[in-house]
Structure 1
Amino acid sequence: MTLIDLYDALPSTQTEALNRLRAGDRGPRWIRAERQTAGQGRMGRQWDGPSGNLMASWYGVLPVEMRRVTQLSFVTALAVTDTIRPLLSAPDPLKIKWPNDVLYNGRKLGGILVQSESLDDGLGIVIGIGVNVAEAPDVQTYGTAAVNALTDRPRTLETVLKALDAALTQRLAEWLKNGFEVTAAQWWDQAYGRDRACLIEQNDQALTGTILGLDEFGALRVRDQDGKIHAIASGSVKYPEA
């Protein structure tokens, strides 16, 4: 079991982990906060972190090239679904939405933020994970869900993080040993939106198409209405019901 440092409150577990790496702490270790006051999400968004939900960051040094860091969002997403799926009364609606959301029936159950830091002795990695365990936050822009509302027996945060630690440790080891191809295929098996058209908003441009899977670095492969295939490395993906 990886060591866990627990705080009553932090501005952000992600920021704390990055600061530790910069100060010479190489982990691996988890930082968990009962409450976050300035939690970080993708593209600078704030992650709403009420007490009772999992807010944690794993940090350590991994022997990988910087260009492979983007793959870690998908490695981590699989670890999150490995953790949550056995807890659910009806697991089929659990899906992964590109690039870093875990959804249940289209409602956000969890999110992932991966950051890296170039260090003198390797590449520092911080993997931030938020999972709605006790409470589905009230968010105006999208629907949310919580694990304990979807299971026959509520779980504690300690139980969920212990299972997540084991799942992430295994997924990281498999990725480092086998590369990204297997991870990408397993992500596709759980991909949200593969059965409907999507709208991708990227800067001032919009693209409508269907998703085909991931490229070698985790960009989303999309076939547009003319049959042309695009690799989307960043942007917002929406679906008709979203």
Structure 2
Amino acid sequence: MSWPAGYGRIVLDETDSTMAEAARRAGTLAGPEWVMARRQTAGRGRRGRAWANPEGNFAATLVLQPREAPGVVALRSFVAALALFDAMVAVTGRADPFALKWPNDVLLNGGKVAGILLETHAGGALAIGIGVNLVAAPGAAEVEAGAVRPVSLMAETGAAVGPEDFLDQLAQAYAVREASFVTYGFAPIREAWLSRAARLGETVTARTGTSETVGRFETVDPSGNLVLMTAKGRVGIAAADVFF
């Protein structure tokens, strides 16, 4: 598997979290850089939640220096999700068990196999953190009540792939999707994402810290918002956790 031109690569034996490592290095990087760690001692997911990362699972952060407005930069969560989908297909040879869950999870046989976390740093650097359960998944007791059950790639598909080999696949897939995004904008990314979306057309629940919205998942709009048809009409949601 060839490494994408223009992208750097740092592989560490251990760090606290690849997101923290990326933040420390962001100001010194001249171009896109992948930071991967074989072990994380303090991995984290969305909303400050802990992210379990036993050895053999995948933890990496891509650091970019985007030039677009913040709302456009944030759409790279969809770019990353598509790249993850592509990499999963590449290592398993199958597309049918995988689906994309708004805003930034990858599902395998209905369970969560991967998550994405975006953060911006001083100077405009964007860090895209990606965690994948390659060989092991947390127990049900370790996730929020009602959340999608965690699964691992190996247990669900039998595919055995190491973190560095997965990084090769993911980096190449991301480079292709990023080039499309920069060249053609969000429209083709949005269309591709929707074609792989979990529970499209079905009733879902979107929860924030203060509210809950139930409705039929109609689409994702051109700004990346979740659009639900509720009893009160169409509602666009910019940020929430989605429950099935």
CA shift, 1:86, in A, is 3.1
Query: 1:34 is paired with a residue of what secondary structure?
Result: strand
| Cα distance in 1, alignment partners of residues 17 and 57 from structure 2 | 14
Provide, for residues 180-210 of structure 1, a one-character-per-residue CA deviation record: whole Å limited to 9, x for no partner.
0111111111111114211122233221101
Query: 1:77 is paired with a residue of what secondary structure?
Result: helix
Counterpart for residue 221 of structure 1:
227
Query: 1:96 is paired with a residue of what secondary structure?
Result: strand
| Cα distance in 2, alignment partners of residues 58 and 86 from structure 1 | 20
CA RMSD of aligned residues (A): 1.7
Determine whether 1:126 maps to 2:136: no
Q: Which amino acid aligns with 2:86?
A: D
| Cα distance in 2, alignment partners of residues 187 and 198 from structure 1 | 18
CA shift, 1:50, in A, is 0.9
Contact in 2 for aligned 1:39/1:46 (Cα 8 Å) = yes
Counterpart for residue 113 of structure 2:
109
Report how many residues are paired.
Answer: 234
Counterpart of 1:167 (choices 170, 173, 179) is 173
- Structure 1: 5+ residue runs without aligned partners? none
CA shift, 1:83, in A, is 0.4
CA shift, 1:152, in A, is 5.0
Determine whether 1:234 maps to 2:235: no
Counterpart for residue 12 of structure 2:
7
What stretches of structure 1 move > 3 A for 4+ residues in a row? Answer: 150-153
Q: Which amino acid aligns with 1:51?
A: E
Contact in 2 for aligned 1:29/1:58 (Cα 8 Å) = yes
Counterpart for residue 49 of structure 1:
53
Q: Which amino acid aligns with 2:135?
A: A
Contact in 1 for aligned 2:101/2:107 (Cα 8 Å) = yes
CA shift, 1:93, in A, is 2.3
Determine whether 1:177 maps to 2:183: yes
Contact in 1 for aligned 2:114/2:132 (Cα 8 Å) = yes
CA shift, 1:156, in A, is 2.0
| Cα distance in 1, alignment partners of residues 46 and 30 from structure 2 | 24
Q: Identity across aligned pairs (percent)?
A: 32
Q: Which amino acid aligns with 2:114?
A: G
Counterpart for residue 144 of structure 1:
150
Contact in 2 for aligned 1:88/1:150 (Cα 8 Å) = no
Q: Which amino acid aligns with 1:35?
A: R
With the length of structure 2 as denominator, give the TM-score of the two structures.
Answer: 0.90
